Each structure stands twice: as structure tokens, then as C-alpha cells.
Amino acid sequence: MPSQQRQTASVTDASRASEAGGTPRKAVALISGGLDSLLAARVILDQGIHVEGINFYTGFCVEGHTHAIRNHEHAKPKRNNALWTAEQLGIKLHIIEVIEEYKDVVINPKHGYGANLNPCLDCKGFMVRKAREWMEKNGFDFIITGEVLGQRPMSQRRDTLPVVARESGAFDRLLRPLCARLLPETLPEREGWVDRNKLLDFNGRSRKPQMALAERYGFKEYAQPAGGCCFLTNEQYSHKLADLWQTRGTKQYEIDDIMLLKVGRHLRPRPHFKMIVGRDEGENNFLNGYRKHFTHLFATSHEGPLVLIDGTVDDDDLRLAARLTARFGKGREAESVTLTVTDTAGNSRVLDVAPLPASDIPPEWYL
């Protein structure tokens, strides 16, 4: 059997029935909320294809949590960019939570990490595979993504785009409308479901072609997430995740772990404990929801942060943590600050400490 036939033979009976019945062709579009996936879906909608969007929530998505938590973000209109994109396009959007399944992608990436703990190639393969499963279950015909050849150093190279198509099982049912004319023909093109001549040949890291196309379509406002839409591309976040794995001695995480890495200042003054320090009222409120699971402390004589302690601490550690907590509050210049410390059993006690001078906080304590 020729390779191409073998690859397309993986489609389901539901999909084949759709073809045989002459029903309108249907594409599922990966919608990240960024400009590229918006444009890719629009290009295919223009060809009369029925398009529905799919968006995966991994727990590492940038939008959402942190935008809502910090005080200064409250002034900005908060929206889910994937939902907003779908509304602009007039398509349905299916948001799929993949937190548990995604752990294996982060912990054991077959293709390794990028500049930080971003497993971009494995991630793209995972998401296209999930989209392929959704396509087969729902009788859709092909998958579209906003990938652009040469745009990303790991997952969007000429040699890695085929890896995604192959490892996801999507093969030639994966169409990248923004760069399709630079790639081999896919099934939707060969079958005439879409006109290859109306697809695009975007290439490289420049965003100008996308911005010009957005203007032509009349999209005046769109998300432009710097460094992508994933916390794992963020150096500081990756450093905190690496610290978590190292100190626990295992590459595992729970959803609460990765949520807390997004919030507050993180300091590790001793190898066996870390402090998470709220930076404003919003973060203090968020951390307050976790206080029963951690030894925690806050100043009572002055305004200041709520601080969670991750690790096992003795009295000397607590005193150091209290001095640091005082340092980050409004009593930082006071001679003495009074704090309440509560352990995980709910036992509280009062400490009076002198705030730690800023000069006594080594930079390496900050994660």
C-alpha cells in the first residue's frame, strides 16, 4: 500500500460517511486565541468550509488566572482570547480540559524542551492528536492550525512540521492554511475541498504578513502574546518549576502546584523551605484560599503580605521567614513588626521580629 493511502486509511467510518454523503466539509480549527489561528480559520471559512474551533486548557495557559488575580490587572477588560476569537469568526468553540493528560507531555517530552521548560514539539503533537480524536468522534474531515513555517524555533520548522502530522496520527488531514503553499499537498487540497491557490505561503518570524492579512479582514484588535500563550516559555516560571521538581526529588506536579507558581514572589532562603509572598491584595486573597494547606504568616501590626511556607520549618526558619515577611510589608522600616504564624494544624502564635534589611537578602533567594 502506498504511503499516502496508508496514512489516510486511519480516518473513521464517520468521516468517510461524511465524504460519501456529499455533506459540507467540516474542519476543526485549533484556536489558541492568537492572531495566527484566527487568520487560519478565517482563510478556511472563506472557502465555504464549516469550521468549529477547539481549544485545550493545560493548566499552563497564560490568560485566565493571573490576569484576574493581581489588582492592577482589574482595570483591564479580562477576556478569554480563544472565546473572543471564536466570536469574531462566528464559529463554535469547544474548550477541552487536558490537565492530567498533559502532565506526561511536560514531564517526559520525547523531543525535549526548548529554551525553557517548553516542550513545544511534543505539545503541538499532543494537541493535534487530541484534535484528530475529536475530529473522528464528531465526523469532521480535517484539522487546521495557525502554524507558520519557520516561525517557531522548535515546532514550526520544515523538518518538524511533518513530525507533528505523523505523531498526531493526523497525517495529510492536517492543513496549515497560512503556509500550505510551501508544504506538500494535503488531503483537503488534493480532493478539492479547499483551493490550494487561495491558501498562503507565509514563512519566517516576521509578523508583517499576518498583520497585513488581519487588516484586510478588518480585524483591528487581536491578542499578541509575547512568547506565546504558555507559561512554560517563560524563563522565570520555568525556573520555579525546575526548583519545585528539584526540591521534591521528582518531576511531578499537581494543578495547585502550577497555579501557585504563577502567583507571588517566590523565595527559597533555605534548601528545605520556600516562601510564597503575596504582592498585592489580589494575590493575598488568592493565597488565602490555600492557607490551610501551608504554614502561613502575616503581620498584624502593619499592613503586609500573606506568606505561605512550602516545606518543613523549625523555629529558626520561622523567625527568618517572619523577618522576611516583615520586610515585604509596610513595617519594613519599623524596629519591630508583630506577626501571626499558623501551622497546618491551625495552631497560631505571635512573633515579634525586626524586618530583615534588604541588603541581607541574597539575590539567589529569589526564584
Partner 1 sequence: MGHFVLDARQLMCPMPVIRAQNRVAELQPGDTLEVHATDPGALHDIPTWCRINGHEVLSAVRTGNEISIVLRVAGT
Binding residues vs partner 1 (CB under 8 A): 57, 61, 63-65, 67-68, 74, 77-80, 82-84, 86-87, 90-97, 259, 289
Interatomic CA distance for residues 51 and 208, integer angstroms: 25
Interatomic CA distance for residues 110 and 126, integer angstroms: 11
When the beta carbons of 172 and 283 are compared against partner 1, the nearer one is 283
Reading the block at residue 19, the C-alpha cell is 465524504
Interatomic CA distance for residues 216 and 196, integer angstroms: 20
When the beta carbons of 98 and 182 are compared against partner 1, the nearer one is 98
When the beta carbons of 103 and 323 are compared against partner 1, the nearer one is 103
Q: How far is the CB of 100 from partner 1 (least distance, A)?
A: 13
Q: How far is the CB of 80 from partner 1 (least distance, A)?
A: 5
Q: Cα 197–203–204 angle (5° rounding)? A: 170
When the beta carbons of 64 and 228 are compared against partner 1, the nearer one is 64
Q: How far is the CB of 307 from partner 1 (least distance, A)?
A: 21
Say how many C-beta atoms besides its own lie within 10 A of residue 157's C-beta. Answer: 15
When the beta carbons of 177 and 282 are compared against partner 1, the nearer one is 282
Reading the block at residue 65, the C-alpha cell is 488566572
Q: In sequence order, what E strands does 9-66 have?
A: 26-30, 50-57
Reading the block at residue 365, the C-alpha cell is 533567594
Q: How far is the CB of 221 from partner 1 (least distance, A)?
A: 15
Q: How far is the CB of 78 from partner 1 (least distance, A)?
A: 5
Phi and psi based region of residue 125 (left: phi greater than 0; alpha: psi -120 to 50; beta: remaining):
alpha
Q: How far is the CB of 52 from partner 1 (least distance, A)?
A: 10
When the beta carbons of 112 and 289 are compared against partner 1, the nearer one is 289
291 burial (CB, 10 Å; 0-12 / 13-18 / 19+) is: middle
Q: Report whether 241 contacts 253 (CB < 8 A).
A: yes
